[in-house]
Amino acid sequence: MEVIPAIDLLNRQCVRLYQGDFSRVTVYATDPLELARRYRDAGLHRLHVVDLDGARTGSPQNMDLITAMASQVGVAVQAGGGLRDIDRALALRAAGADRVVVGSVAAEAPDMALQWLDRLGPEHLVLAFDVRVTRNEDPAVLTRGWVKDSGNSLWALLERFCARGARHFLCTDIAQDGTLSGPNLDLYRECTRRFPAAAVIASGGVGSLADLQQLAVTGAAAVVTGKALLDGRLTLEEIESFSRAA
């Protein structure tokens, strides 16, 4: 299972939001490019970059930082935030992003996202779904800062996109995001059981090395972790040892 550090950008600073809430933001006194270099030097090959300025305004704002991470730092970057049309997605690829992450469009306008899939190709598109898990119901996919129900279940969307050849799916349990309280192992186990060909990227709740070890058993292809690394709950040495063991 690949471990992908997250760098969330807001006002050109590294930040973390608690459960996606812009009013509950933690700012870290770390230069984004320096942080990217630190992760690269630790042997990590991919970063998950979220342009929160773009997510809030609907237009990407940090293309230059993404370009610098890809070209100067030399890591593969999967990036998203504020992508509402294919031209912006293609511009992000041109800026150096190896993978483009699309969320709201994929959940609210699947037909449009399928066109993106055709244009970008399955290896360069990550379909991101933020889900609310309720007992005895299919996981509901939320959008627009988790305040709008897309009307689609996670299972229905995964089935539709997998049938068209999509491969990479980022799945976040919103109840766990930013909490460090542990990931929803049942959710990822069910994702991989239902869709064994999908490369599921887990997100939300990782707070320790033990969480990574438990996630790996679910069959998840990768995990995105941000706050645990920034707060020192999870060290680069632990990730390195986990990678060797994996």
Looking at the predicted structure, is the pLDDT value of residue 109 above 80?
Answer: yes
Q: What is the pLDDT of residue 246?
A: 59
Q: What is the pLDDT of residue 111?
A: 96
pLDDT in tens, 32-79: 999 999 999 999 999 999 999 988 887 889 999 999 999 999 999 999
Looking at 8, 51, 173, 177, which residue is catalytic? 8
Looking at 21, 64, 87, 130, which residue is catalytic? 130
Could you tell me the pLDDT band of residue 245, with boundaries at 50, 70 and 90? low
What DSSP line would sit under the chain, residue for residue?
-EEEEEEEEETTEEEEEETTEEEEEEEESS-HHHHHHHHHHTT--EEEEEEHHHHHHTS---HHHHHHIIIII--EEEEESS--SHHHHHHHHHTT-SEEEE-HHHHH-HHHHHHHHHHH-GGGEEEEEEEE--TTSPPEEEETTTTEEEEEEHHHHHHHHHHTT--EEEEEETTTTTT-S---HHHHHHHHHH-TTSEEEEES---SHHHHHHHHHHT-SEEEE-HHHHTTSS-HHHHHHHHHH-
Looking at the predicted structure, is the pLDDT value of residue 7 above 90?
Answer: yes
Output the CA–CA distances (angstroms, integers) from residue 79 to 37, 48, 54, 75, 203, in the order listed.
17, 6, 11, 12, 14
What sign does the CA torsion over 155, 161, 167, 169 have? Answer: negative
Distance (Å, rounded) from C-alpha 219 to C-alpha 151?
27
Question: What's the predicted TM-score (pTM) here?
Answer: 0.94
Looking at the predicted structure, is the pLDDT value of residue 19 above 80?
Answer: no
Over residues 18-40, mean pLDDT: 91
Q: What is the pLDDT of residue 18?
A: 81
Over residues 215-226, mean pLDDT: 96
pLDDT in tens, 140-182: 999 877 667 899 999 999 999 999 999 999 999 998 988 889 9
Quickly count: other Cβ atoms within 10 Å of residue 14's Cβ: 21
**DSSP bridge pairs for 203:** 172, 224
Distance (Å, rounded) from C-alpha 6 to C-alpha 27?
14
130 part of the active site: yes
| Complete domains list, the chain, with CATH | 2-245 (3.20.20.70)
More confident residue, 81 or 125: 125
